[in-house]
Copies of this chain bind each other. A is one copy, B any other.
Amino acid sequence: MHEALTIGQLAARSGVAQSALRYYERLGLIRAERTSGNQRRYHRSELRRVAFIRIAQQVGVSLEEIGDALAALPASRTPTAEDWARLSTAWRERLDERIRLMERLRDDLDGCIGCGCLSLRRCTLYNPGDELAVEGPGARLTLPR
C-alpha cells in the first residue's frame, strides 16, 4: 500500500468529500489514474493539490481561478516543494490584500460606531473596492476577492 490512494482514502486524509473530489476532477483541478476496473487511484502528490485547493478557497479564490493557478504547475513531473512555494507566495499576497481590506473595514467601522453614521458616501466604509456597478447575471461573490 504505497503510492496509490483510493478515493475513499484521499477523502479521509484530505477531509474533502468523495463527491467533491470527483467534482474537482471534472473541473480539472486534480487527476487520477485508473485501475483495470476503472477505479480511481490517486498519486500521493494529489494530497497537496487538494490541500492547496482548500487553502486557496479560504483565501477567497474561486475554483476556476484555482484551476488556472494549478495549470501553471509542471504536468510532466511531480511538483517540487519549490513549485508549491511559488504558488503559495502568490496566494500569500492575495491573503495579505484580503487582510488589509478587512482591517480597513474594521477601522472604518470603528470610526462609524461613534457616530452611527453608515452614511455610504460620507463614510469611507461603504463599498471599499469601488465596485458600485453591475457585473452581469448570476450569483455574486459575496466577499471581496
CB nearest neighbor in B for A50? B120
How does the 8 Å CB contact mask read for A91-130 relative to B, with 1 for contact and 0 for none?
Answer: 1100110110011011001101111111111010111100
Inter-chain contacts of A71 with B (CB < 8 A): none
Contact partner of A58 (CB less than 8 A), chosen from B57, B81, B88, B143, is B143
Interface range for A: 35 or more
The contact sample of 18 A-B pairs, CB cut-off 8 A, is A15-B120, A15-B127, A15-B133, A48-B118, A55-B118, A55-B125, A57-B142, A58-B105, A58-B142, A81-B117, A82-B116, A84-B116, A84-B118, A85-B114, A88-B109, A89-B113, A91-B109, A96-B106
The interface of chain A, by Cβ under 8 A from chain B, is 13-15, 17, 47-48, 51-52, 54-55, 57-60, 80-85, 88-89, 91-92, 95-96, 98-99, 102-103, 105-106, 109-110, 112-121, 123, 125-128, 132-134, 142-144
